[in-house]
Chain A
Amino acid sequence: MSRSFSFVSHACALVVRNPISLGSVAMISLLAILALFGPHLVPYDPNLTDLSIPFSPPTAGHWFGTDQVGRDVFSRVIVATRIDLMVAICAVALSFFAGILIGASSGYYGGSLDLWVSRATDMVQVFPLFVLAMALVAALGTDMRNIVLATAIVNLPFYVRLTRAEMIILRAQMFVEAARVAGNGDGRIMCRVLLPNALPNLMIQLSVNLGWAILNAASLSFIGLGIRPPTPEWGIMVAEGATHVVAGNWWLVIFPGLLLTLAVFSFNLLGDALRDLFDIRTR
């Protein structure tokens, strides 16, 4: 009981101490609110077309202007938060837990398990990231479930590699030997000794990954392999707006792009804060 309390108070202390952490937590909270309550907060129906006012620049009535079929850009941008965030969180959660499980066993037990796991991750990492994501989505189909799966698969090797490397370093530490002398079996050592010590570095990877997953989902949609229109999604909006930028309709690209950048940026900044949160030595 007291452990969870001290954890929360430590979290608050960290956030307050460091303005960057404070900023990123604030931005992420904002994004979370938009994702959860977006559709209820926006002034217009994101799919409502109004062919009388296409390509209208930002005005008091339409803060972010309207697109080629008169839909309100502001409403679409806000509502789009949910999709990319959800895809990213699901994909990263999947690869995080699966990757830690595989990487920890591989690094801890070594032997033939390690050999096979290393070969498998090599096979996945032999392609450039985005190319692999593209190929997987092309092969599996472009619904949301497959995008999540493809992103998770592409991400998996990073967690496996990182966890495995941490395990190999940590298992040679003396406090692991001490735990064994104290009568702890393999399972206990992995879960209660090794993983908590590996967590800080894993957390940094987690936050960077979340940022990358959002980028990935938007990029796939941009090239037409991701979420399909007319669902409002940042990547699609940029893609549709790209053809009209040359004619001077900058708001179709800037606003979705801006929010996309903001989301990725907040998660990237979160990394250091998360690592400090899980590392006892910063208390």
Chain B
Amino acid sequence: MLMKSTQRLLTVKNLAVDFDTPRGLVNAVTDVSFHVDEGEMVAVVGESGSGKSVTAYSALGLLSTGGRVVADTINYLGQDLLRAGRNLLKATRGNEISMIFQSPQTALNPIRPIGIQITDVLRAHQQLSRAEATKRAIAALEAVDIQDATRRLQSYPFEFSGGMCQRALIAMALACEPRLLLADEPTTGLDVTTQKTVMDLIATLTRSRNMSTLFITHDLGLAAQYCDRIIIMQNGRVVEEGETAKIFNDPRDNYTKRLLAATPHLHSRLVDLLPPAERRPFLAPVAATSASASSACSEREVVLKVDLLVREYGLGPARRRIFEKLWPARRVETPNTSMLRAVDGISFQIGAGECVGLVGESGCGKTTTSRLIAKLIKPTAGSIQLLGEEIGADDPRTFARSHKRKLIQMVFQDPSSSLDPQRTAFEAIADPLMRLEGVKRSTELRDRIEIICDLAGLSTDLMDRYPHQLSGGQKARVGIARAIAVKPALVVLDEPTSALDVSVQAVVLNQLSKLKRELGLSYLFVTHDLNVVRLLCDRVLVMKSGKIVEQGSTEALFGAPKHEYTRQLLAASPTIRFRSAAYSG
């Protein structure tokens, strides 16, 4: 860091934001103070409910109605933004201070061409003719590496991928050359490789224009890789702030330590994700670890064997003929291009007690694979053998009522949409017991559910609650409890923790590991997060465009990746230069 006299761009002192909700007054942000200097990238890191986004929105006066902003100072280059008139605020927004948002596709006007949206911003702040504004818009798009910018001016957001939308949004935000960029979780929901592209772009632009960026995120690893300073927020307050190196090497606050611990990049053991005081229940018995280590290479009973599995989507022959008649120009395509091979001949095995990770980016076919294995959809070709029995050809509907159904269970991605909103947690867990084991409503059912809750770390007084009355972590545990209720042989987990806060994820991952040990389960763990795979899985399958490009043990894959794509994925994961001294041993 060069020591030069840098200007202080943004100063915020004692910010407090309250919301009037039907359930009473909510203090979203309390007593928050920070500053952003010229040329630096500052991260605001926090989990859900930390108030990090609200803080950024208040700076620009963008809060929705119902929010009351109170502060000693919100000052930008000497101008008071808090008490500013509407004209001053409008002149500042997009011009001096710009903001970019999460979910870029919805952040853009869906029925207005991208080019016009950019020229709208330009002409709102500068006296430009339409031709001049168009030229500047093209330049803006080129600065964010969008090829063929002149033609892209007329494109609509739905014609862009997620990453391109975000870059277009950045072009819009930077068109008037602001000095401060507020970035609210700009890469959440993007693939790891796209995430890297966008973050690199933001970092490059920040440096080259001597701009400053306030980067809001829940990902400490990402913040560490790109930002000079980090501000940690929890429950609406700032708990710690400082230079990145200092935060990692010498964290003061307990919450900071917990957050550092929960970040998967930094550790090699699953239990390290938790603070020491909470590790006891999850520590594996010493005898078991050495036993599992020795059996790693020896014969394991094969639980799942998949051979040349294929799943195609496309038009049936009749519709294809009609299709070709109406759009004869399309006929030139070869027969295969009107069919989509989501899964293109994959083969792998899962042994007893093994956790196999399935990684890939969006569209690679891992979700389809998980549905095929869980017998929710039927494969077009190939075999699936469960404990020696062929189940590939079984129709999903009849499989649901066969005795084999209880051998494979599933934990779904978004806990909010995988629980029936009209049923209680008790009913959700009782469902497989009643359907697959014929247990009737009785004390036996209650007893068994109590045991399952205990195993999954769920308190029994949550049983009568509906999903909308449960927190994200609690819902995730209900989903897990439901999956292990009938003691399956294989559990397919489809991104079970991607919607959770890191600290909650830490607990849930440890819980999953413990359950696997105690119940002798096998896991097919589908995820996009390589760091989680490294901690939890014994072996890894890397998927791209429907094919498995590499598979092997976790150490081998991470240590010496063979395939180019695997190397790309590993390189794109945020790497942290600091070793955390928070917890040792």
Is there any pair of Cβ atoms, one from A and one from B, under 8 angstroms apart in the complex?
Answer: yes
Q: What is the interface of chain A, defined by CB distance below 8 A to chain B?
A: 173-175, 177-186, 188, 193, 196-197, 280-281, 283
Q: Is B527 an interface residue, CB under 8 A from the partner?
A: no
B418 partner residues in chain A, CB cutoff 8 A: 174-175, 177-178
A173 partner residues in chain B, CB cutoff 8 A: 417
Are A281's CB and B435's CB within 8 A? no
Partner of A181, one of B376, B397, B466, B468: B376
B482 partner residues in chain A, CB cutoff 8 A: 178, 182
Our count of residue pairs bridging A and B at CB distance below 8 angstroms stands at: 74
Given contacts A180-B376, A181-B374, A281-B468, contact A174 B400 (CB under 8 A): no
Distance, CA A281 to CA B374, complexed state (A): 30
Are B468's CB and A179's CB within 8 A? no
Q: C-beta contact mask, B405-421 vs A, less than 8 Å → 1, else 0?
A: 11011101110011111
Partner of B414, one of A174, A186, A280, A283: A174
The 4 closest A-B CB pairs, nearest first, are A183-B435, A174-B418, A182-B432, A183-B436
Q: How far is the CB of B270 from chain A (nearest CB, A)?
A: 26
Given contacts A173-B417, A197-B422, contact A183 B432 (CB under 8 A): yes
B420 partner residues in chain A, CB cutoff 8 A: 175, 178-179, 193, 197
Distance, CA A78 to CA B435, complexed state (A): 53
The count of chain B contact residues (Cβ–Cβ below 8 Å) is: 32
B397 partner residues in chain A, CB cutoff 8 A: 185-186
Q: How far is the CB of A240 from chain B (nearest CB, A)?
A: 50
* Most chain B beta-carbon neighbours within 10 Å: one of A175, A184, A280: A175
Output the nearest chain B residue to A175 by Cβ-Cβ distance. B420
Partner of A283, one of B375, B409, B412, B466: B466
* Most chain B beta-carbon neighbours within 10 Å: one of A181, A196, A283: A181
B483 partner residues in chain A, CB cutoff 8 A: 181
Are B431's CB and A179's CB within 8 A? yes
Partner of B412, one of A178, A184, A281: A178
Q: How far is the CB of B76 from chain A (nearest CB, A)?
A: 41
B421 partner residues in chain A, CB cutoff 8 A: 175, 197, 280-281
Q: Is B321 an interface residue, CB under 8 A from the partner?
A: no
A181 partner residues in chain B, CB cutoff 8 A: 374-376, 400, 405, 408-410, 432, 483
Distance, CA A188 to CA B434, complexed state (A): 13
Q: Which of B439-480 contact A (CB under 8 A)?
A: 466, 468, 479
Q: How far is the CB of A237 from chain B (nearest CB, A)?
A: 45
Apart from A180-B376, A184-B435, A281-B468, what 18 extra A-B contacts exist at CB < 8 Å?
A174-B412, A174-B413, A175-B421, A177-B376, A178-B428, A180-B396, A181-B374, A181-B408, A181-B409, A181-B432, A182-B432, A182-B435, A185-B397, A185-B401, A193-B420, A280-B422, A280-B468, A281-B421
Distance, CA A283 to CA B467, complexed state (A): 12
Are A281's CB and B400's CB within 8 A? no
Q: How far is the CB of B462 from chain A (nearest CB, A)?
A: 16
Distance, CA A197 to CA B422, complexed state (A): 7
B409 partner residues in chain A, CB cutoff 8 A: 181
A185 partner residues in chain B, CB cutoff 8 A: 397, 400-401
Given contacts A183-B405, A185-B397, A280-B421, contact A178 B410 (CB under 8 A): yes
Partner of B400, one of A180, A193, A196: A180
Output the nearest chain A residue to B377 by Cβ-Cβ distance. A177
Are B419's CB and A175's CB within 8 A? yes
Are A184's CB and B400's CB within 8 A? yes
A183 partner residues in chain B, CB cutoff 8 A: 400-401, 405-406, 431-432, 435-436
Output the nearest chain A residue to B401 by Cβ-Cβ distance. A185
A184 partner residues in chain B, CB cutoff 8 A: 400, 431, 435
B466 partner residues in chain A, CB cutoff 8 A: 280-281, 283
Distance, CA A156 to CA B158, complexed state (A): 36
What are 27 pairs between A and B in contact, CB < 8 Å?
A174-B412, A174-B414, A175-B417, A175-B420, A175-B421, A177-B374, A177-B412, A178-B412, A178-B418, A178-B419, A178-B428, A179-B431, A180-B376, A181-B375, A181-B405, A181-B408, A182-B432, A182-B436, A183-B432, A184-B431, A185-B400, A185-B401, A193-B420, A197-B420, A280-B468, A281-B421, A281-B468
Distance, CA A183 to CA B410, complexed state (A): 12
Distance, CA A85 to CA B195, complexed state (A): 61
Output the nearest chain A residue to B414 by Cβ-Cβ distance. A174
Output the nearest chain A residue to B403 by Cβ-Cβ distance. A183
* Most chain A beta-carbon neighbours within 10 Å: one of B397, B400, B409, B418: B400
Q: How far is the CB of A144 from chain B (nearest CB, A)?
A: 38
B422 partner residues in chain A, CB cutoff 8 A: 196-197, 280
* Most chain A beta-carbon neighbours within 10 Å: one of B376, B401, B431: B431
Output the nearest chain B residue to A195 by Cβ-Cβ distance. B422
B428 partner residues in chain A, CB cutoff 8 A: 178
Distance, CA A55 to CA B280, complexed state (A): 92
B376 partner residues in chain A, CB cutoff 8 A: 177, 180-181
Distance, CA A180 to CA B374, complexed state (A): 10
Output the nearest chain A residue to B466 by Cβ-Cβ distance. A280
Distance, CA A175 to CA B415, complexed state (A): 9
Output the nearest chain A residue to B492 by Cβ-Cβ distance. A181
Distance, CA A94 to CA B406, complexed state (A): 41
* Most chain B beta-carbon neighbours within 10 Å: one of A175, A182, A197: A182
A180 partner residues in chain B, CB cutoff 8 A: 376, 396, 400
B432 partner residues in chain A, CB cutoff 8 A: 181-183
Output the nearest chain B residue to A183 by Cβ-Cβ distance. B435
Q: How far is the CB of B32 from chain A (nearest CB, A)?
A: 32
Q: How far is the CB of B475 from chain A (nearest CB, A)?
A: 11
Distance, CA A179 to CA B435, complexed state (A): 10
B436 partner residues in chain A, CB cutoff 8 A: 182-183
